Amino acid sequence: MTQHRGSAFGLDTHGVSRRSVLRGGLLGAAALAFGGSVLSACSGGGGAAGGSGLPLAAMPTYVEPPKPTPFLPGSADGVMDVYKAFPLDGARTVEGTVGDGGDFQFLVMTYGQPAPPLAENAYWQTLNAELNLNLKPVMVPYADFPTKFPALVAGDDLPEVVSLPMYMNTPRLPQLAEAKFTDLSDHLAGDAVKKYPNLAGVQESAWRNAFLGGRIYGVPKSDPIFGGQLYTKTDLFEKAGVSEHPQSLEELQETAAALTDSGSGVYAFGGPITELVLQVFGVPNKWTRTSDGTFVPHYEHEGFVPAIEAMASMYKAGSFHPDTATMDKTQRDSLFRTSRLAMTYDGNRAFGIIADDRELEFGMARSFEKDGGTPVYWTGGGAYAVTMLRKTDDAATIDRFLRVMDWLSAPFGSKESFVQSYGAEGDNYSIIDGVPVLNERGQREQDLGFAYIAGAPQILCNPQGAPGVDEAIHTWQTSVVPFLTDNPAQHLYSETANAKSGSLEQGVTDAITSVFLGRDSATALERAIATWKSNGGDKIAAEYAEAYVG
């Protein structure tokens, strides 16, 4: 990388920015394609060796954790429990002291300003006291993670604990793990996990992410299994007199047309809805495994190209905001909030929309199939990140690491979970009407990132957020459960995918954008898919078929 002119340093724009990948814009599809296809699975079948030649580790045994009675119960399928408030008198789930008074250095990503330093950070101090450790975060701005991480690896400067987010495609992760991180299988596989009761309370869908080459290398931070959803701006729908739950493709198109009023600057959509249309057309979740064991990519599904064409025709009809191609998430959210976009497709919790605005009235569209039939809903990976321990043989270090993870994975309602969420009374939160309420300082100090490296299954509890949101999400999740479609390759490792999926997928994503915006006809997309197949897609399919176990 050459140096930039005029300045002594200049790698000023060469600092590779993942911004475009994560802004949920047109490249968002590529981001969603990254996550998950990296780690290998273990479906409990015995015997098949992992890459390391060691036997396949067993899935950690699941032991249902104690939890308070939810206001609205979830389900084993993944619907989240809803609570109205955090219990103040939770029981302790971790016995004894967790730490040994030493330093605990961990690598974590930051999405905003890093937390205030220890001396001013009551939350941090509380955690240190609780755990009897000296927490030392190594913060990396999320967009620069692909740059910083290889440097740390190359220089052998990895902190003791590394938390790798699932949506980052870390190159050669299984080999990297084998070379630089500790194999935790002996401590976590099967019943061994019961030594750490809270870790035993983490579900299988999250644990699957922690397997590399058939062995357990890390502890997951569980995520809801739901992917994205279509948010609808209620007032615009009421005004246009259309239902917020279109039940077919035709209805969606009519709804979009009815909602759009370009004269007043109101449009139905402001960003690509690729995932939505694909699911509407019944396209499976990235891969399908046929009865004879072959893996078929969703690109080859009969609905794939027509789905993109349908999206393109809506663009042509004017239902999309003219600046769709260059708008970023902040602008899109702003337009949605001010009723200039009627619908927006966003992730699980859509923080930008919901959490920031208590007055926002919105809905979440139910899944539907293009002809009104049975829809599909794509599940996600089940974990936000996997946290690993630098390679060591020292039993005490490993034990300490697992005890910290155990503490972090304490279930909702427990004392430990409370401390993680709220910190120190007075400085970080106060009790108002029996409900603990975070103050501004409490919010900022949590940017320590510590709570993001591991965690129990998530629940819905936002007493400080907009009222009724949690119930609405719960209802929506329940409605979607019958249609959950897994990606059979989610936790499988393919060498080609790991090495090239980024650039391979980019070709298809670019073609999708091209067709969507009307620059090209669908043949361009078909060509791109053919290129994808010949440049590596077919190889990936073969590798997945081989890697599949059970």
Partner 1 sequence: MVAPAVVVLLLFTYIPLLGNVIAFMDYVPFLGFRDSEWVGLDNFSTLFSDGAFWNALWNTLQITALQLLLFFPVPIALAVFLHSVLRSSVKRFVQSVVYLPHFLSWVIIVALFQQMFGGAGVLNRFLITHGVTPLDIMSNPDTFKLLLTFQGVWKDAGWGTIIFLAAIAAIDIHQYEAATIDGAGATRRFWHVTLPGMRPIIVLMLILRLGDSLTVGFEQVLLQRDAVGPGAAEVLDTYVYFNGVVDGSWGTATAAGLLKGIVSLVLVLVANSLAHKLGEEGVYQR
Partner 2 sequence: MTAVDRPAWLGKPNPGATALRGVALVLICLVVIFPFVVVVSTSLATQADIDANGGYVVWPASLSFDAYQQIFNGTQVTRSILISLGITTVGTAFSLVCTVLAAYGLSRKGSLFQRGLLTFVLVTLLFGPGMIPVYLMVKNLGMLNTYWALIIPGAVSAFNVVIIRGFIQGIPGELFDAARIDGASEWRVLGAIVLPLSRAAIAVVGLFLAVGYWNNYFGPLLYLNDSSMWPLQLLMRSFVLQGNVSSAAQHIPGTVPPPQQAIQMALVVIATLPILCAYPFLTKHMSKGMLTGAVKG
Q: Say whether residue 326 binds partner 2 (CB under 8 A).
A: no
Smallest separation (angstroms) from partner 1 to the CB of 326: 5
Which string of b and e fits 303-338 if b means at least 16 CB within 10 Å? bbbbbbbbbbebbeeebbbeebeebebebbbbbbbe
Considering only 53, 96, 117, 468, the residue that binds partner 2 (CB under 8 A) is 117
Amino acid at 304: F
Considering only 243, 294, 330, 374, the residue that binds partner 2 (CB under 8 A) is 330
Instruction: Output the DSSP codes for 118-154.
Output: GGG-HHHHHHHHHHTSEEEEEEEEGGGHHHHHHHHHH
Token readout for 376 is: 């599909």
In 201-346, which ranges are continuous DSSP H helix?
Answer: 204-207, 234-240, 249-259, 274-280, 304-316, 329-337
Considering only 1, 119, 395, 396, the residue that binds partner 1 (CB under 8 A) is 1
Region of 120-128, 147-155, 298-306, 400-408 interacting with partner 1 (CB under 8 A): 147-155
Q: Which of partner 1, partner 2, none does residue 9 bind (CB under 5 to 8 Å by kind)?
A: partner 2
Half-sphere exposure of 184 (CA within 13 A, CB side): 32
Region of 22-30, 96-104, 370-378, 486-494 interacting with partner 1 (CB under 8 A): 22-30
Q: Say whether residue 347 binds partner 2 (CB under 8 A).
A: no
Q: Say whether residue 180 binds partner 1 (CB under 8 A).
A: yes
Q: Say whether residue 260 binds partner 1 (CB under 8 A).
A: no
Q: Say whether residue 536 binds partner 1 (CB under 8 A).
A: no
Smallest separation (angstroms) from partner 2 to the CB of 80: 16
Considering only 122, 153, 435, 484, the residue that binds partner 1 (CB under 8 A) is 153
Half-sphere exposure of 307 (CA within 13 A, CB side): 25
Smallest separation (angstroms) from partner 1 to the CB of 328: 8
Is there a contact between 409 and 201 (Cβ–Cβ < 8 Å)? yes
Q: Which of partner 2, partner 1, none does residue 467 bind (CB under 5 to 8 Å by kind)?
A: none
Report how many residues bind partner 2 under the rule CB under 8 A.
Answer: 69
Is there a contact between 332 and 233 (Cβ–Cβ < 8 Å)? no
Q: Which of partner 1, partner 2, none does residue 514 bind (CB under 5 to 8 Å by kind)?
A: partner 1
Q: Say whether residue 146 binds partner 1 (CB under 8 A).
A: yes
Considering only 55, 171, 347, 465, the residue that binds partner 1 (CB under 8 A) is 171
- Number of residues written out for the chain: 550
Burial class (CB in 10 A: 0-12, 13-18, 19+), 280: buried
Q: Say whether residue 338 binds partner 2 (CB under 8 A).
A: yes
Q: Say whether residue 229 binds partner 2 (CB under 8 A).
A: no
Region of 63-71, 218-226, 256-264, 352-360 interacting with partner 2 (CB under 8 A): 352-360
353-382 footprint of partner 2 as x/- string (CB under 8 A): --xx-x------------------------
Q: Which sign does the torsion angle of CA 211, 212, 214, 215 carry?
A: negative
Token readout for 342 is: 């009627």
Region of 48-56, 195-203, 407-415, 434-442 interacting with partner 2 (CB under 8 A): 434-442
Q: Measured between alpha carbons, how far is 337 from 386 in angstroms, rounded to an integer?
A: 34
* Opening angle at CA 513, ends 338 and 289, nearest 5: 110
Query: Angle at which helices 304-316 and 522-532 pack, to 10 degrees?
Result: 140
By beta-carbon proximity to partner 1, the closer residue of 169 and 222 is: 169
Rounded to the nearest 10°, the torsion over CA 138, 139, 144, 145 is 50
Q: Report helix, strand or coil for 409.
A: coil
Q: Which sign does the torsion angle of CA 120, 123, 126, 128 carry?
A: negative
Smallest separation (angstroms) from partner 2 to the CB of 127: 14
Q: Name which of 514, 527, 489, 356 is nearest 29 in CA terms.
A: 514
Token readout for 144 is: 């620069």
Q: Which of partner 1, partner 2, none does residue 334 bind (CB under 5 to 8 Å by kind)?
A: partner 2
By beta-carbon proximity to partner 1, the closer residue of 313 and 503 is: 503
By beta-carbon proximity to partner 2, the closer residue of 7 and 290 is: 7
Q: Measured between alpha carbons, how far is 434 from 495 in angstroms, rounded to an integer?
A: 53
Region of 162-170, 199-207, 234-242, 327-335 interacting with partner 2 (CB under 8 A): 327-335
Q: Measured between alpha carbons, how far is 44 from 239 in angstroms, rounded to an integer?
A: 53
* Interface ranges with partner 2 (CB under 8 A): 1-12, 14-15, 17, 19, 22, 110-117, 120, 137-144, 147-148, 150-151, 154-155, 157, 159, 329-331, 334-335, 337-338, 340, 351-352, 355-356, 358, 437-440, 443-444, 446-447, 449, 452, 462, 464-466
* Interface ranges with partner 1 (CB under 8 A): 1-2, 4-5, 13-14, 16-17, 19-20, 25-27, 146-147, 150-151, 153-154, 169-172, 175-176, 179-180, 265, 321-323, 325-328, 331, 499-503, 506-507, 510, 513-514, 517, 519
